Amino acid sequence: MLEVEAVVRRFGDLTAVDGISFEIAPGETYGLLGPNGAGKTTTISMIAGLLAADSGAVRVLGEQMGPSRVAGKRHIGLVPQDLAIYPELKGRENMNFFGRLQGLGGKELATRVDEVLDLVGLTDRAGDPAKEYSGGMKRRLNIGIGLLHRPTLLILDEPTVGVDPQSRNAILESVEALSGEGMAVLYTTHYMEEAERLCDRIGIVDSGQLQAEGTRDELIRLIGGLDRVRLDGSGDLAAAADALGGLAAVEQVDADRTGLSLAVRDAPTAVAELVTRATAAGVTLADVEITRPNLEQVFLHLTGKALRD
């Protein structure tokens, strides 16, 4: 579907993108994570054909992408980070305008606009100027415009920035539904939980380079992350610590006055055995808590920065 091959883009002395490569398969949602200035937007601009790469290549369904390459652009739907809508135009007029530029017309356009308005929940407000919409409604209109021509690759550049929780959830559900229908999605975000929820694979970008790539679990394994398990309770905690320390999944166990803290591989699988052994060793458990390493920690490990820096 999308092939990005060692693309490089320079602005004067600054190399904004330095040899990034990745691919996206049909129906796959790929997350591009990186701090501000990492090169995400420049990468997206090259994929969407807004900028030409100094070297390397971007292909969508085999079509070369670039500012003057028209054929490849038919396959993509770009949802820019900024609200790319015209406030003076009504919601339906915005969709009609961009739909016509995508080559739609007549009955096909009218039908498709109705469908997308329904999909993004704006049918009732389609006749109002976009400038009268709430922030969430504008975001939904922004996304809807990118869907009009049924693109095979949807590019979403931080689509939930500044959106209320309700609209945000609606947007995430829409993306999940589109992915379920076979649309490939390239998604950038500052919100780790969005990446974890939506993305099949994630690429971490920093200083213009792809630092790591893989599924969530693959990325966590990359930094050797262990799950943390906390067993709160009373009784013979020292004996329980000895018993649990002998299990293959347990790397480390510490007892304190209120319970046990363990470093464990694959905690969801091991937790039942841990509870059984602790109870057998004479501990009365009051609470069990599992903390798994997340992408935030991976990100911090790889880039030395928090995602929102």
Partner 1 sequence: MRQLWVMTTSDLRQRIRDKSVIIFSLIVPLALMFVFNLVFGGTDEIELEPVTVAVSAPADDEVAGTLVEAITGTGVIDVTVEQMSAGTARTAVADGEVNLAMIVPDGFGQDVLSGTGGALEFVEGDTSGLETGVVIVVSQSVLDAYAAGTVAATAGGGLGLNPEELGRVAQEAATAGPTIDTVAGQTSDEQLGPGASLVAGQAGLFLTFTVGFGVLGLIAERQEGTLARLQSMPMRPGLIVLAKALTGFILGVVATSVLLTLGGLFFDVSFGPLALVGLLILSVVTAITSLTFIVVRLARTAEQAGIIQSILAMVLGISGGAFFPVSASGALARVLDLNPIAAFTRGLGITSGGGGLADLAAPIAIMLGFAVVMLVVARLIPDRGVSR
Strands of the sheet containing 14-24, edge to edge, are: 14-24, 2-11, 55-60, 63-64
Task: Identify the residue among 6, 25, 101, 177 touching partner 1 (CB under 8 A).
Answer: 101
Residue type, 107: K
- CA distances, 211 to each of 39, 171, 203, 205 (Å): 12, 28, 7, 6
Our finding on whether 83 is near partner 1 (CB under 8 A) is yes
Does 126 interact with partner 1 (rule: CB under 8 A)? no
CB of 65 to partner 1, least distance (A): 10
Q: Which helix (H) or strand (E) holds 59?
A: strand 55-60
Segment 13-52, which members bind partner 1 (CB under 8 A)?
Answer: 16, 41-42, 45, 48-50
Selected range binding partner 1 among 98-106, 186-194, 239-247, 249-257, rule: CB under 8 A: 98-106
> DSSP readout, 162-212?
T--HHHHHHHHHHHHHHHHTT-EEEEE-S-HHHHHHH-SEEEEEETTEEEE
The answer to whether residue 55 forms part of the interface with partner 1 (CB under 8 A) is: no
- CA-based radius of gyration for the chain: 24
Q: Which of 62, 88, 135, 215 binds partner 1 (CB under 8 A)?
A: 88
Q: How far is CA 140 from CA 11, 121, 191, 258, 303, in A?
A: 33, 8, 18, 49, 32
The residue range among 53-61, 78-86, 268-276, 281-289 that interacts with partner 1, by the rule CB under 8 A, is 78-86
- Rounded to a whole number of angstroms, the minimum distance from the CB of residue 80 to partner 1 is 5
185 part of the interface to partner 1, by CB under 8 A: no
Which residues contact partner 1 by CB under 8 A?
A: 11, 16, 41-42, 45, 48-50, 67-68, 70-71, 73-74, 76, 78, 80-86, 88-89, 93, 97-98, 100-103, 145
